[in-house]
Amino acid sequence: MSASLVDPRLQGRALKRVAFTTDQIRGRVRELGADISAAYPDGDLLVLGLLKGSFILVSDLVREISRPLQVDFLVVSSYGNDMVSSGTVRMVYDAQAVLKGKHILLVEDIVDSGRTLSMVITVLQEREPASIEVCALLDKHLSTFLEHPPRFVGFDAPNEFLVGYGLDHAENFRHLPYIASLQ
Ligand code: PRP
């Protein structure tokens, strides 16, 4: 689908521009799935989605990974209804899966300041996984302190407030099939 700036899903809000179209995302997710499949020849793979933003990416991505895996989720939140991070990351819901000895692939929709990833990786490392890697659809490359930068990145993201394909503003626009910046 080609993205339109006049879209009934936008509740009258104007988009500044479409950053990544539905077709671009679909193609890149397919490539990420192939890269991830090749990167894990052995062992137990647990795909851990960081909710809510990654819910669409996880469902598309796991269907492009051609090896056994399990899926679980964490809910963390930092932005509330604001357009800038609150600076505090809260674990709202913890994964139920056992992580010990497994390869963990954390799936994130976007890396902005990197605070969310830092906090989550610190917590997960204490559970003695075999490895932890990150797949992020979008990376703004703003973080200078990330010890664990994403190994799998969909797109380098512009430093704009992006919505769609899981990303929200005040919980709206997550269901857009493309990624756009707001006015
Ligand atoms: C957003 C986004 C990332 C995080 C990135 O989540 O989904 O998880 O912020 O920002 P950071 O790199 O500055 O930490 P948010 O806290 O808005 O929750 P959500 O996933 O429910 O949208």
Q: What is the pLDDT of residue 83?
A: 53
Indicate whether residue 50 lines ligand 1 (CB < 6 A). yes
Question: What digits encode the pLDDT tens for the residues 13-47?
Answer: 888 999 999 999 999 999 999 999 999 999 999 99
CB 71 within 8 A of CB 49: yes
Query: How far does residue 41's CA lie from ligand 1's centre (Å)?
Result: 30
Confidence (pLDDT) at 10: 86
User: Which two structure tokens, joined as six digits, stand for 173?
Assistant: 């626009």
Contact 162, 148 (CB under 8 A): no
106 in ligand 1 pocket by Cβ < 6 Å? no
Atom of ligand 1 nearest to the CA of 171: 22
**pLDDT of 79:** 58
Check if the beta carbon of residue 54 is closer than 8 Å to that of residue 166.
yes
Check the CA dihedral 26-30-35-41 and report its sign.
Answer: positive
Predicted pLDDT at 80 = 57
Residue 84: what pLDDT? 55
Q: Whose CA is nearest to atom 22 of ligand 1?
A: 53
Residue 91 Cα distances to 77, 94, 124, angstroms: 7, 7, 12
pLDDT value for 1 = 41
pLDDT less than 50: residues of the chain: 1-3
